[in-house]
Structure 1
Amino acid sequence: MNVDAERVDGLVGDNVTTPEPDVQTSWDDLGVVPEIQQALETQGITHPFPIQTLAIPIAVMGTDLMGQARTGTGKTLAFGISILQRTILEGDEGYEDLEMPRASRRPW
């Protein structure tokens, strides 16, 4: 597949900037568990980006979703947080019902 880089660059434009974090929304507002919030804050990530604010509540429910945002705006982190949030661990409600439990302790 040939991609015309100049054409693609022209579609993106030169004045596109990475959005600022959504300081109106907290990780707690999105239902992120305290352990994950603490890990994020340790890394200096104190507020979600807009794509995270939109994606995390949907992804945590296990619903299919599709999002589009510029590179570096936190898409991968949104999905990673959602995956960790949905992990059922030993001692959690529903753990005993799993046929093949995989996680035995929290990684943080």
Structure 2
Amino acid sequence: MAEVKINIQEEGPSSFDLYDEDGKVGEMVFDIKSTDLTVYHTEVDPEKEGMGYAKLMLDAMVNYVREHQLKVIPLCPYVHLQFKRHEALYKDIWNKVREV
């Protein structure tokens, strides 16, 4: 069973790291400044693609953001696409004003 663990860094980007029986198989890289969580990149090992792992990290990030009253700046193409496809699900946390 896959598990997402948050890895907060004082200096440099933080990440939501995804682990399964094979070890670390994915990550979602982000940074928090003030009340914004900026997602830069989501990656899953090629042999693990298509298993819903990116969605597990997305769900973990969304839960974290809501729990900590943050807004998301989705610079990551995957996260941005999911926010656009399912705007009603994410409108409460999507910071469109700060998007590039």
The TM-score, its normalising length taken from structure 2, stands at 0.32
Q: From the two aligned structures, give the one with the greater helix fraction.
A: 1
Q: From the two aligned structures, give the one with the greater strand fraction.
A: 2
The TM-score, its normalising length taken from structure 1, stands at 0.30
